[in-house]
Amino acid sequence: MSPALIGLECGGTRTVAIAATPDLQLIQRMEAGACNLRLVSDAELESHFSRIAAQLPPAAAIGVGMAGVRDAADISRVRSVLSKVWPGCPNEVDHDLESALSTAELDHPGQGRSRVILLSGTGSCCYGRSPSGKTAKVGGWGHLLGDRGSAYDIVHRALRAAAHHLDHSGRWCLLGQRALARLLLNAPNDLIAWMQSATKSEVAALAPEVFAAAAEGDPVARKVLAGIEEDLARDAVACARQLGRSPADIVFAGSVVLRQAAFARRIARRIRATLPGASARPLQRESAWGSVVMAQRSLGTAFKGSKQIAAAKPLVADAEDSFRIPKSRELSPTEQRNPRSTRLDRLPVRQAIELMLDEDVGVGSAIRAQMGGIEKLIRRVSAALANGGRLFYAGAGTSGRLGVLDASECPPTFRTPPDWVQGIMAGGFRALHSAVEGAEDDAVAGAAALAGRGVGPKDVVVGIAASGRTPFVWGALHEGRKRAAFTALLCFNPHLECDRKGPPDLLLALDTGPEVLTGSTRLKAGTATKLVLNLVTTLSMVRLGKVVGNLMVDLNPSNVKLRDRAIRIVLELTGTDRAAAEAALVAEGWIVKAAIARLGRKA
């Protein structure tokens, strides 16, 4: 292959690499991991560049725009590493704001106007250049001292505002509910420890939840975003004014302003109202192209146009003893000894396998015995989801983990919003992989977890407890009932004596019998739980029109395997050829239903 111009934009979230011809025609684009100069050693930087070089054509020149580059010493450090990976290759290195600005100048060269990049992504900054070459910078102080208007700043301000709102009103706002759901936390108090240990990127990743809450009318989120818009507009105007009196183009870059179009439009209006004659618009192509321009500059080539482009208030005031936990007429089968496995430790492996498989055979019959109740639950769940409600699973240990697992599978399989089906785990995120002592015995925490998610009359709450008597689960069920949600309990204790006047509205008490390993409910009870949850979400989604025949026509094709599956689904339902199916999917943003509608169902 002929040598190419290689542009690398290395940021706090990812690296984008572009290989282009000398006249800036795209050859190849790829992505790699995050690379901020302040966070990597020289050895790590060399390894990062080497992995990228192995996947790209030979380089004629390299341009690098990198987060964390601040001065000549930083530039020298990066160039030294580049010389090891691409020896003898001309290069130009600068910070990622320079690559973004070069992209803007590539789109609109030689117009005699100052240009300012307003960057709002994981971090934030404004950086500009006048027609005479003068540069100015506002912001870029890092997330602890500055970065006003960055994704990190948005989330930090929003969580502070949510806590303040709770302190003053006693209500946990929608923004807070979405944050807890996204983080698998159970109560506002849990955010304290999370915030203390979370990385900058982990905090910034919650920004979409702030925008989603604002779009749903949450006044706390809306007020935070209005303040962010004002700050970003003022910083852009201040940067432009430092460049002189010439008219200014303000160009938006970074994931926040590029992905939130309405947010960007409001900032643009503020800028134009304050700075007469200014234009404000998004960057027209990804800023890695500016790094390609930098590579071109290192060869002395002129620009050419491209043809491609503090403890929170508790939400639950109830005392632990106010959550009634039912009695069991006799010991739950899940705690009884199985007479068939009393010699398990002495059985030959093959016989032990046969025994465990024989025991699992009865799981299906136990589920069929509760067919009527499961059917009722599926109807309630599908109706709830169709009418703006949500499904919540609450559990501890294996039961909780299976609920979280089922919830996490719904967005990729059925393209559901993440908040449609939510798993609530006793002990929170850490309990998914490690035991949290006493978590399952805290009924108040179970109630607080439901309150923290803002459960209401449109929702369905399913408690999962093998013995049927887990306090965390019963706290959640009582809180769900108090908030007028439909409640159900999935357990494996047919001897449970539930109060007919209290929760649950539906009891599914399966009898799978004693476990092969006494008390190990990750075995038959766990298998049965997984099967029941499969039934509930799969058939609810079928009723919501997310399945045609036995094909998942609303999957989210987020990887190569799923994109191939999406193509095969379109082929099957439209009778077209593969090229037409893929073209329709690309045109419709890989939304399978839309691609099928575009092509038309076959008779």
The residues assigned a catalytic role are 409, 440
Burial (0-12, 13-18, 19+ Cβ within 10 Å), 388: exposed
Q: Is 132 helix (H, G, I), strand (E, B) or coil?
A: coil
Q: Reduce the secondary structure of 11-44 to three states and give it as a string.
A: CCCCEEEEEECCCCCEEEEEEECCCCHHHCCHHH
d(CA 519, CA 334): 5
10 Å Cβ neighbour count for 219? 14
DSSP annotation of 306: -
d(CA 453, CA 180): 7
> 592-599 and 560-574 helices cross at what angle (nearest 10)?
30
d(CA 362, CA 528): 10
Alpha helix segments (H runs only) across 313-470? 349-361, 363-368, 371-386, 397-414, 443-452
Backbone angles phi, psi at 94, to 5 degrees: -160, -175
d(CA 387, CA 381): 10
For 496-511, the DSSP string reads EE--TTSS-SEEEE--
10 Å Cβ neighbour count for 463? 30
d(CA 469, CA 482): 19
List, in order, residues 6 or more apart from 246 with CB less than 8 Å away.
112, 113, 114, 130, 131
10 Å Cβ neighbour count for 134? 12
- Biggest CA–CA distance in the chain, Å, is 89
d(CA 513, CA 175): 43
List, in order, residues 6 or more apart from 545 with CB less than 8 Å away.
554
